[in-house]
Amino acid sequence: MWVLAAGCATLFPATAWAAEAATPPALPWGIPFLGIILSLGLFPIFAPRFWHRRMGLVVALWTLALVLPQAVLLGPGVALAGAWHSVLLDYFPFVSLLAAMFTVGGGILVRGGPWGRPGGNTLLLALGTLLAGVIGPIGASMVLINPLLQANAHRVRKVHLVVFFIMLVSNIGAVVTPLGNPPLYIGLLQGVPYGWPLRNLMVPLLLMAVPLLAGFWVVDRHRAKAEPDPPPMQPLRLRGGVNLLLLGVVIAGVLGQSLWQPGTVSLFGVAIGIERLAGMAVFVAVLAISAAVTPRAVHAGNMFSWEPILEVAKLFAAIFITIGPVLTMLQAGEHGPLAAVLRLTEDAQGQPNPIAFFWLAGILSAFLDNAPTYLVFFQIAGNDPEQLTGALSGTLEALSAGSVMFGALTYIGNAPNLLVRSVAAHRGVRMPGFFGYMAISCALLLPLFGMLTLLIFR
């Protein structure tokens, strides 16, 4: 049923609407996307067994609720052409990278070390935050989530470990790198220098990370008192070292796509960069090699299963499709239904308002795809990288920080969030639902975002 529905669902992405419609879609076309978000939040609470067994069916029905009316309005030919554009340029690169990182991370088994204790867990999250700023949030998340959960296998309550991990490693730590970080990668393609985020966003990173790490240590120390004692500390050991080499290959594949751009080819009417095709081929090859060479004992030690990535791939297929009209509304700017919201980005003199860029781009990025959201606000700010890294640097800092950091507010705010949550759930951690996680994240992060507003973006 899922395969059939997904095939139908790809009939109509936002590109088809943009190409054929005289005006952008009206707000009601966002209802299917909202339906998926509500289903993700409510079904696990009120019908968890049904959701676990029939998630694919539920999201497929919401997708069809969008696709069928649109296919009738624009015609199947136009819809199919737009679908191929969306699948080839957006979904395939996304899921191939995510799957490769998931497989490589599941093939690295870490034993021993100081982890599993409050100080060691805090150190691991700190290292993960730094690592996310070097290799990107997907790589850091997939490499470290299994060691964190394995080191704390003796504990009963582990939700806080995963929640803080998502905030710090899967999101906030990545604010200083465009590598494997879609919004800042878009900035790189628009002409923002590669090292600009590191030079300009390290202070916001520290202002967020230090209080969160301190808060985590307090919570973890308190909860550790009611848990069984950890096993005696053992020397740090690592198995599956070949996957570290494969991780390097994936990182090189991501970075290479910004350095090597030999041109485009047309595949069934859609132009795609040769470097993107090469990148997807590298990611698929890495996945296959990792799955073939990783010892079974390593996979068993990490409780490795393909179910988390399959679950996330299904869900994001529906999200990528139903989010199309919403992104088109956003991209329509002052001519679209979200014009009133976008006008809030200007101050009384008509200049970009950094506070508005931080909060508006951030909130939208928490629910929508943060890469096109970043691009829309980049264009609203003038679309001039020289000016945005010079006289308007504060605006670009606010936009970059908001687009990346607010991703920690929801499970769908950034690519690794939902996958980390799924990995933890399959390892027996009773993770909160969509709205439960959002309640926790808002309580922890919104005061810190307010602090950034007062200290940095005012």
The whole-number pLDDT of residue 344 equals 82
Q: How far is CA 299 from the centre of its chain?
A: 24
What's phi and psi for 365, nearest 5 deg? -70, -25
Instruction: Give the domain range for residue 37.
Output: 2-455
69-78, 156-165, 189-198, 272-281: the lowest-pLDDT one: 69-78
Q: What is the mean pLDDT of residues 7-34?
A: 58
Q: Exposed (0-12), middle (13-18) or buried (19+): which is 128, by Cβ within 10 Å?
A: buried
Compute the average pLDDT of residues 370-398: 88
Write down the residue that tokens 């969030």 correspond to.
417
Which pLDDT band holds residue 280 (cuts at 50, 70, 90)?
Answer: very high
Whole-structure pTM value:
0.85
Please report, for residues 131, 171, 389, the alpha-carbon distance to residue 411 in angstroms, rounded to integers and kept in the order given: 21, 11, 31
C-alpha to C-alpha distance for 404 and 174, rounded to whole angstroms: 7
Q: Identify the helix (H) or strand (E) that includes residue 195.
A: none
Predicted confidence at residue 83, as pLDDT, reads 66
pLDDT tens-digit series, residues 104-127: 988 998 888 889 999 999 999 999
Range with the poorest average pLDDT among 13-22, 266-275, 370-379: 13-22
Confidence of residue 79 (pLDDT cuts 50, 70, 90): low
Q: What is the pLDDT of residue 16?
A: 44
pLDDT at 456 over 60: yes
State the pLDDT at residue 235.
Answer: 86
CA distance 24 to 418: 30
pLDDT band at 316 (very low <50, low <70, confident <90, very high): confident
Lowest mean pLDDT among 71-85, 97-111, 216-230, 338-352: 71-85
Q: What is the tally of structural domains in the chain?
A: 1
For residues 69 and 133, the model is more confident at 133
Is residue 203 predicted with pLDDT exceeding 60?
A: yes
pLDDT tops 90 at residue 446: yes
pLDDT band at 190 (very low <50, low <70, confident <90, very high): confident
Least confident of 42-46, 87-91, 274-278: 87-91
Residue 183 and residue 372 in contact, taking contact as beta carbons nearer than 8 Å: no
Query: How would residue 298 be classed by pLDDT, with cut points 50, 70 and 90?
Result: very high
Q: What is the DSSP string of 6-52?
A: HHHHTT--HHHHHHH-SSPPPGGGGHHHHHHHHHHHHHHHH-HHHHH
Q: How far apart, in Å, are the Cα atoms of 308 and each of 97, 161, 348?
A: 15, 18, 48
Note the pLDDT of residue 78: 65
Residue pointed to by tokens 């050991």? 237
On the question of pLDDT at 333 being above 80, the answer is no
Q: Are 101 and 139 in contact (CB under 8 A)?
A: yes
pLDDT-based confidence at 10, cuts 50/70/90?
Answer: very low
Q: Look at residue 204 in the predicted model and tell me its pLDDT.
A: 96
Helix (H) or strand (E) holding 444: helix 434-455
